[in-house]
């Protein structure tokens, strides 16, 4: 199963969701890989604690190889082993930004899907974290994935962007990946005591949008998790937000088996 966490709007918790779902997946025994495709490398830093020049080239090196290798030659990707059992990362670096126009010019949009085809035998679950833009890397991930998870933070601007995002995913599905499914909209930074967010969600559900019924609360614990470079399932397994991630993971796995 390959899941891409994507939203063109920044600040919706995309990397936090991808990393914590991957960490829960690994904690529950699935051999899990997270691929960071964002030049900001937030997921990389979160799960490895590495910064700057200490970060392995990872996915940038893989894409560089695709620009120079000949026909039929396999491209190698370095995989970083995290301190957590079953959880591995393909790291991102700032060089991804410089590589993007070269990759676009050479039409390398399907290379990531081929890489994941090769990795499927080694990993039961693959999570893809994307940049907050529908650029080369995000499109590559959507072409390579089975399911899309869309983070949503109950903001009016996010709501308007959501409609356009779903339309773009539908168009990409039609043109490039007919098996791609929107697995659900993940409500993040939810404030249960505020009336406006719940009203907005009720309206989205009434419109038939696939809002997942497990909401992730706003919590300072997430910031502590980032600061410690430790996913919630390992930092504080009993915390309410941690349990929400566990419940969300169980929901996704149950839905995937239907």
- Tens digits of residue pLDDT in 86-107: 999 999 999 999 999 999 999 9
- Those residues of the chain that have pLDDT short of 50 are none
User: Residue ranges of the alpha helices (H) in the chain?
Assistant: 14-27, 42-48, 59-68, 95-105, 111-119, 136-144, 156-175, 195-206, 220-228, 232-235, 240-256
Q: What is the pLDDT of residue 69?
A: 64
Q: Residue 158: what pLDDT? A: 83
Q: CA nearest 2: which of 90, 133, 99?
A: 90
Q: Which of 2, 13, 1 is nearest to 187 (CA)?
A: 13
Tokens of 186: 């993940």
pLDDT at 70: 61
Would you give the end-to-end CA distance of the chain in angstroms? 13
pLDDT in tens, 141-161: 999 999 999 999 988 788 888
pTM of the shown model? 0.96
């Amino acid at each position: 199963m390959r899941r891409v966490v994507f939203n063109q709007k920044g600040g919706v918790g995309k990397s936090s969701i991808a990393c914590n779902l991957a960490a829960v997946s690994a904690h529950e025994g699935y051999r899990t890989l997270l691929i960071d495709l964002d030049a900001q490398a937030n997921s990389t830093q979160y799960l490895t604690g590495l910064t700057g020049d200490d970060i392995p080239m990872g996915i940038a090196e893989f894409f560089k190889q695709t620009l120079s290798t000949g026909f039929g030659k396999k491209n190698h990707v370095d995989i970083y082993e995290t301190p957590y059992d079953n959880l591995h990362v393909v790291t991102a670096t700032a060089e991804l930004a410089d590589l993007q126009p070269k990759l676009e010019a050479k039409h390398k949009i399907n290379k990531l899907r081929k890489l994941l085809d090769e990795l499927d035998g080694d990993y039961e679950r693959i999570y893809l974290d994307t940049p907050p833009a529908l650029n080369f890397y995000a499109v590559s991930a959507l072409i390579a994935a089975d399911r899309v998870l869309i983070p949503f933070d109950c903001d009016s601007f996010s709501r308007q962007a959501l409609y356009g995002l779903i339309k773009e995913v539908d168009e990409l599905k039609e043109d490039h990946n007919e098996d791609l499914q929107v697995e659900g909209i993940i409500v993040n930074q939810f404030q249960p005591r505020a009336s406006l967010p719940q009203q907005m969600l009720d309206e989205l559900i009434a419109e038939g949008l696939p809002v997942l019924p497990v909401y992730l609360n706003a919590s300072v614990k997430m910031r502590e998790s980032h600061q410690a470079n430790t996913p919630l399932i390992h930092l504080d397994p009993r915390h309410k937000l941690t349990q929400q991630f566990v419940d969300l993971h169980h929901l996704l796995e149950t839905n995937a088996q239907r």
